[in-house]
Amino acid sequence: MIAVLLVGAGGFLGAICRYIVSQRLSRIYGRFPFGTLTVNLLGSFLLGWMIGGEWPESRLLLWGTGFMGAFTTFSTFKLESVNMWTNKAYGKMGLYLGMSYTAGILLAFAGYSLAKIATMR
């Protein structure tokens, strides 16, 4: 029961933060989905950091599964990609997909590696 509450509390906070970041960045960069890109890349780095830092299970449930699960968004990322395709914005779509996948994986690895280095001290 505690695990469910931790995930729910983290999800509540993560969803609110994603909404705020996405709304603010959409106002600034309206024609490109920088809000979704930002939360997904930041989430990749932070989740890598959490796993690399070997956080205890309760912290991972709250911040990893709950917060990061709601903060990042795979479904919005896919919908925005489909919208770019249907609007024939192929270059923008390619840039968005390339940045999201490549930078996401690299940032997750960077977060993981930096946490491992930080915990060696």
In this structure, the number of other CB atoms found within 10 A of the CB of residue 58 comes to 11
Whole-structure pTM value: 0.89
Q: Where are the domains of the chain?
A: 2-119
Which residues of the chain, if any, have pLDDT below 50? none
In whole angstroms, how far apart are CA 7 and each of 17, 27, 73, 110? 15, 30, 16, 25
Per-residue pLDDT, 31:
81
The model's pLDDT over 35-61, given as tens digits with 9 standing for 90+, comes to: 999 999 999 999 999 999 999 999 999
